[in-house]
Structure 1
Amino acid sequence: MKLLVGIWFVLSAEMGGKDITAAFANERMEITDTGYKIWSGNIVTDIGLLSFNEGAGELDIVGTEGPNIGKTFKGIYKMEGDNVVICYSLANRPDKFETNAENNWVLIKWTRKQ
């Protein structure tokens, strides 16, 4: 998880096979040793915990404040240079980095703040 500590900005996002990048235009994510915060402009919109299974490239996202409080998202992640790609779902853990109308997964590519 140390590799992911820092501030991240959305490069691209899709859900259910559709581009939703515009919905994340002002979003940034701050990852710490214990969790994450999502910011929209200067307002914190979501706070939660992250747990990683680094060997398997898996993560669990647990909302503790904001609209996702009490929800657990199952996901997978991979590093691509200075970017991280995360694919997650509220239902089953994704097994690949793609979305379509049937799976309704969320796929976001984040880039680290330089």
Structure 2
Amino acid sequence: MPTLSRYDELLALPGATAAGEFSDTGRLLGYQGNISEQAAEIAAMMCAANRLMGNMQAKGWSAYTGQGGFYPVLGFAVSGGRYTACIMGRYGVFLETEKADFDRTFATLSRYL
């Protein structure tokens, strides 16, 4: 489990409401923020599933078009309007979309790869 300082760093990002870590199988490894444990567990599964789906799509796109550079997926964002989840590697942070600084968020997350 990571030190709390990683979660604190992620929660200090503009608009951040929750941050966590998940396994490749979607198991919640830890979290901090304004989210219930049950919601964090579901978020962990969502993050792992979306990363897996993104890799499948990126690999298929690369094979179909002959263009590389999309696989493997290192990070992604899912936005539902008011909130956005930004994921890179095994870490993710939930942000209020209007307050988010996506460049800063992904720069921070990229240090945990």
TM-score using structure 1 length: 0.33
Structure possessing the higher radius of gyration over alpha carbons: 2
Higher normalized strand content (fraction of residues): 1
Higher normalized helix content (fraction of residues): 2
